[in-house]
């Protein structure tokens, strides 16, 4: 059995950022990153792939190119956790031992959670920006559609980047408006949530666009079935008077699938509510195992599941891992920051930034960038600043504008 100071399960946004940050803080630490994937994706870019702004290739790098030089990459699948023996079990039947474990496996997109969906994805007008290979199909459908009905759906929370289902819709509507065909296309948003967005401050600006694009908004409406060949989507809509089943014919259907914790986490002793890793929301340390941390989408915290959250979480986990290795108390704390750049039209974004409890956390003074209004500056950040900030800053452990908070010494 191989042994490392720190084992990181998952080499996505969270795993790589944490490894890089940790190795900067404590050079010489032996770190293993376990991930079978050959590619690493900048998923926030997929919204712009679906709108023809980015090419798919701009959102993809080889995994080997993002693994920190001083870390060991174990190209295997994590198949189990045995925290009582400080072991992680791998797909090839072997196991690795750790002093500290960081769980960063992301979440599972449950494409089979909607009847008939999996077999029709990528054809019959059915698409999703939540998959690298399908985001270009979204853009193809948008360009081809001249008339008819376009449906956009959002599953129950929690999901990663809760704004992404409506971002795809606004950017599609913008394109149809520019081409002069919007009047002939009926657009409908079906979301399981009771409102358009979880933080009330951003809703007025978004409602403005719902009106401008003449979108039929249905809350508490759940996509339950897709018949690709017949192009019919079935929804379950809940109201005070009960539940009704509604069938809608479509020409284009953009689906966001239900999302859960990965099976290997849900079925492990590390799982808490809903199957997510049970951690302290501030220190991100496991609630029962002192030598286990979790961050990113897999963590059972109430922040917005975003790469923006990971940017703030990684230094906190890195610092607390270093403290744990040195048998010191963990005192770096995460405030729940997350961000969701809502692309309301090509060139403008409503930049939602908020922490635990929906508390607004703007990065900029209001006179420069008011996140509750659509701004060109926020689009500029999304298109030109965030991708290099991700590849060259966050994934390499450069913590620009990120200072973890600290608990008072106990």
Indicate which residues carry an active-site annotation.
Answer: 161, 340
User: 169: part of which helix (H) or strand (E)?
Assistant: helix 164-179
According to DSSP H, which parts of 199-354 are helical?
203-212, 263-266, 307-325
Residue sitting closest to ligand FAD (CB): 12
Whichever of 78 and 187 has its CB closer to ligand FAD, that residue is: 78
Smallest gap from residue 14 Cβ to ligand FAD (A) = 3
Other beta carbons within 10 Å of 126? 24
Q: Are strands 338-345 and 348-354 parallel, antiparallel or unpaired?
A: antiparallel
Full DSSP string of 87-126: EEEETTS-EEEEEEEEE----EE-GGGSBTHHHHTTSTTE
Whichever of 175 and 297 has its CB closer to ligand FAD, that residue is: 297
Smallest gap from residue 328 Cβ to ligand FAD (A) = 26
Q: Which residues bind ligand FAD (CB under 6 A)?
A: 9-15, 34-37, 43-44, 46-47, 77-78, 104-106, 129-130, 160-161, 164, 262, 264, 296-298, 305-308, 310, 339, 341
C-alpha 202/C-alpha 254 separation (Å) is 23
Whichever of 13 and 332 has its CB closer to ligand FAD, that residue is: 13
Smallest gap from residue 356 Cβ to ligand FAD (A) = 16
CA distances from 36 to 56, 86, 267, 297, 346 (A): 21, 21, 20, 18, 36
> Which contacts (CB < 8 Å, 24+ apart) does range 269-272 have?
269/81, 269/83, 269/84, 270/81, 270/83, 270/103, 270/294, 272/300
Smallest gap from residue 298 Cβ to ligand FAD (A) = 6
And the tokens for 306? 């975003």
Smallest gap from residue 232 Cβ to ligand FAD (A) = 25
Whichever of 103 and 330 has its CB closer to ligand FAD, that residue is: 103
Whichever of 11 and 182 has its CB closer to ligand FAD, that residue is: 11
């Amino acid at each position: 059995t191989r042994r490392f100071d720190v084992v990181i399960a998952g080499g996505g946004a969270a795993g790589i950022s944490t490894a890089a940050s940790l190795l900067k803080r404590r050079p010489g630490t032996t770190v293993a990153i376990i991930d079978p994937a050959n590619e690493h994706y900048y998923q926030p870019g997929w919204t712009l792939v679906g709108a023809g702004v980015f090419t798919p290739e701009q959102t993809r790098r080889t995994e080997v190119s993002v693994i920190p030089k001083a870390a060991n990459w174990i190209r295997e699948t994590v198949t189990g956790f045995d925290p009582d023996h400080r072991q992680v079990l791998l797909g090839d039947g072997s196991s690795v031992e750790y002093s500290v474990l960081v769980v960063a496996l992301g979440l599972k997109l449950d494409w089979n959670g909607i009847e008939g969906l999996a077999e029709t994805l990528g054809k019959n007008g059915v698409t999703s920006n939540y998959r690298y290979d399908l985001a270009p199909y979204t853009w193809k459908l948008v360009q081809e559609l001249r008339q008819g009905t376009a449906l956009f759906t959002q599953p129950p929370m929690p999901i990663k980047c809760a704004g992404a289902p409506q971002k795809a819709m606004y950017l599609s509507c913008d394109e149809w408006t520019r081409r002069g065909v919007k009047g002939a296309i009926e657009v409908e948003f079906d979301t399981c949530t009771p409102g358009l967005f979880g933080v009330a401050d951003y809703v007025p600006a978004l409602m403005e666009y719902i009106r401008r694009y003449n979108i039929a908004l249905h809350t508490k409406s759940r996509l339950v079935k897709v018949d690709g060949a017949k192009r019919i989507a079935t929804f379950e809509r809940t109201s005070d008077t009960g539940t009704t089943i509604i069938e809608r014919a479509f020409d284009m259907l953009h689906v966001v699938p239900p999302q859960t914790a990965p099976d290997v986490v849900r079925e492990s002793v590390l799982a808490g509510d809903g199957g997510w890793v049970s951690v302290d929301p501030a220190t991100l340390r496991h609630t029962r195992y002192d030598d286990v941390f979790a961050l990113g989408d897999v963590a059972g915290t109430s922040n917005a599941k975003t790469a923006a959250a990971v940017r703030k979480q990684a230094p906190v986990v890195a610092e607390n891992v270093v403290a744990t290795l040195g048998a010191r108390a963990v005192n770096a704390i995460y405030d729940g920051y997350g961000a969701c750049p809502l692309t309301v039209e090509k060139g403008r974004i409503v930049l939602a930034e908020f922490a635990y409890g929906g508390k607004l956390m703007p990065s900029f003074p209001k006179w420069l960038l008011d996140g509750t209004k659509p701004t060109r500056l926020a689009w500029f950040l999304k298109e030109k600043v965030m991708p290099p900030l991700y590849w060259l800053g966050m994934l390499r452990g450069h913590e620009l504008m990120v200072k973890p908070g600290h608990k008072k010494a106990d």
